[in-house]
Amino acid sequence: MKKCDAEKIRIADYSYTLPPEKIARYPLEKRDSSKLLLFRNNTISTRPFSGIGAEIPEGSLLVFNDTRVIHARLIFEKSTGAVIEIFCLSPHAPRDYSVNFQQRTSCSWHCMIGNAKRWKDDVLQMKVSVNNENVLLSARKIESNADDVIVEFSWNNPGFTFSELLEIAGKLPIPPYLNRASEARDDETYQTVYSAVEGSVAAPTAGLHFTSEVMRSFRKKGIQSARVTLHVGAGTFKPVKSETIGDHDMHMEFISVSRETVQALYENENNLIVVGTTSMRTVESLYYLGKKILLQPDIQPEELVVFQWEPYGEENPVSPKLALKSIIDYLIRNNADQLLAFTQVMIVPGYTFHYPQALITNFHQPQSTLLLLIASGIGKYWRDVYDYALQNDYRFLSYGDSSLLWLTANQAI
């Protein structure tokens, strides 16, 4: 599909009526007791999620996003009584998530500011009690941009990392459409059971249904698993306000994929099922990253970026397997275990998929980029799937029910 055609897609064509009562504001008591909608061979049916293992062929490779949601909301109170919320989006300096989290005196982040008009140039401060020790956490604006503010955080006790302070002082961000404040139980229920790498400000919610019992059922059946990391940004909730997709700016997100996972993808490219839209975007980004490496074997790390419209109007395509092989060779040449990159890829109807055969995902908001991704994978049948879910009392959005969708749209050969 050409870029000019993709940009003309009207977001109004990807809308449906979502009654407020269909939005799940809280999770079910048991994660895997949710419903599972199956879409395969253009037919739709319902199963319990706990039995998903029976629906996945033996020998399949499931790809999970192992990111972990951080306590990204910091609430500062000024001496005047004004409350300022600083929502940490992504690291500024150091840029690497793991390095930033391990800082012991200061670091800076790209942030959104709540009640911004009440915060001028003064330094905000908060007392934090960590293991019976008091730490003074300070926040100072160092740069204001169109989309965010760069905030420098500093603290007076090098005995604690920024990660530790954020965990104690911050609050877990939950989706705005839940229309409620975060609660203590969200700290557990809004994390996947396999979350491991801190960095997201929103959960990869397709994974919220999985339990240790479900994971055991996969292993028992001979279903393999692999992990990628995509740190979900607040942009995942950004509504599409433009009439056409061409005027919507997709958010940039950090991804990390191990050499072991790339090798597993290389060996199982025809048996791949991704868990969540974030895993889908990560796996598909590997094709374009691999192609860049193939064309530029000495590419610099900062050039490992997939831009929003890169997939559309692509020239000189390569085989998906060759793209993965080029990444493996690149990591070996550089004695690296992880591919670190950024992706802004936006998957819209007309996109050509390179790797996954199926997608496990929740039910998404009308007129969202996530719904566009679903329509990219199953074509016009997305309306049938969503109508079926609405008519059969499925629960929608982050804490809602799940679906297993076998892709019917364009696939790369």
Is residue 170 within 8 Å of 41, Cβ to Cβ?
no
Of the candidates 148, 80, 91, the one whose C-alpha atom is nearest the C-alpha of residue 114 is 148
Return the pLDDT at 146.
83
Separation of alpha carbons 257 and 265, rounded Å: 11
State percent of the chain over pLDDT 90.
90
Return the pLDDT at 410.
63
Domain boundary among 137, 171, 205: 171
The DSSP element (H or E) to which 50 belongs, if any, is: none
Torsion angle of C-alpha atoms 194, 200, 201, 203, degrees rounded to 10: -30
Q: Which of 1-5, 30-34, 40-44, 343-347 has the lowest mean pLDDT?
A: 1-5
Q: Are residues 387 and 327 in the same domain?
A: yes
Structural domain span for residue 167? 72-171
Q: What is the pLDDT of residues 270-310, one digit of tens each?
A: 899 999 999 999 999 999 999 999 999 999 999 999 999 99
Residue 412: which pLDDT band, with cuts at 50, 70 and 90? low
Q: Over the chain, what is the mean pLDDT?
A: 95
Query: What is the dihedral sign for C-alpha 401, 402, 408, 410?
Result: positive
Q: Are residues 49 and 142 in the same domain?
A: no
Interacting residues of 294 by C-beta distance below 8 A, sequence separation 6+: 318, 322, 323, 326
Residue 234 has pLDDT above 90, yes or no: no
Is residue 169 within 8 Å of 126, Cβ to Cβ?
yes
Return the pLDDT at 413.
45
HSE at residue 78, side-chain half, CA atoms within 13 A, is 18
Task: Establish if 413 belongs to a structural domain.
Answer: no
Of the candidates 132, 168, 138, 167, the one whose C-alpha atom is nearest the C-alpha of residue 151 is 138
Tell me the mean pLDDT in the region 41-69.
97
Is 372 in a helix, a strand, or coil? helix
Specify the number of domains making up the chain. 2
Angle, alpha carbons 379-11-69 (nearest 5°): 85
Angle between helices 277-295 and 369-378 (to 10 degrees): 80
Supply the pTM of this predicted model: 0.95
Q: Are residues 228 and 253 in the same domain?
A: yes
Task: Establish if 116 belongs to a structural domain.
Answer: yes
Is 163 in a helix, a strand, or coil? helix
Residue 409 has pLDDT above 70, yes or no: no
Radius of gyration of the chain (CA): 21
Task: Establish if 177 belongs to a structural domain.
Answer: no
State percent of the chain over pLDDT 70.
99
